[in-house]
Amino acid sequence: MKDETGSWIDYADENLDVAVLACDHGHLNACLQNAQQAVEKYLKERIHV
């Protein structure tokens, strides 16, 4: 399960990076979607620790 945990963090970090980029360019829907996905993945990592 630990190997999978690193992947969730990597995916969450990527979603958060995309959220910031989208927000910086005024794409609020894409920003919110990616921010929400990042939170879900960070929580999933915490649950599976």
Q: How far apart are CA 31 and CA 26, in angstroms?
A: 8
Token pair in block for residue 24: 């910086």
Q: How far apart are CA 10 and CA 19, in angstroms?
A: 14
List pLDDT tens digits, range 13-37. Answer: 999 999 999 999 999 999 999 999 9
Q: What is the pLDDT at residue 48?
A: 80
Token pair in block for residue 43: 């929580």
The pTM of the full predicted model, rounded to 2 decimals, is 0.84
pLDDT average, residue stretch 6-14: 93
Q: How far apart are CA 18 and CA 5, in angstroms?
A: 20
Does 3 score more than 90 pLDDT? no
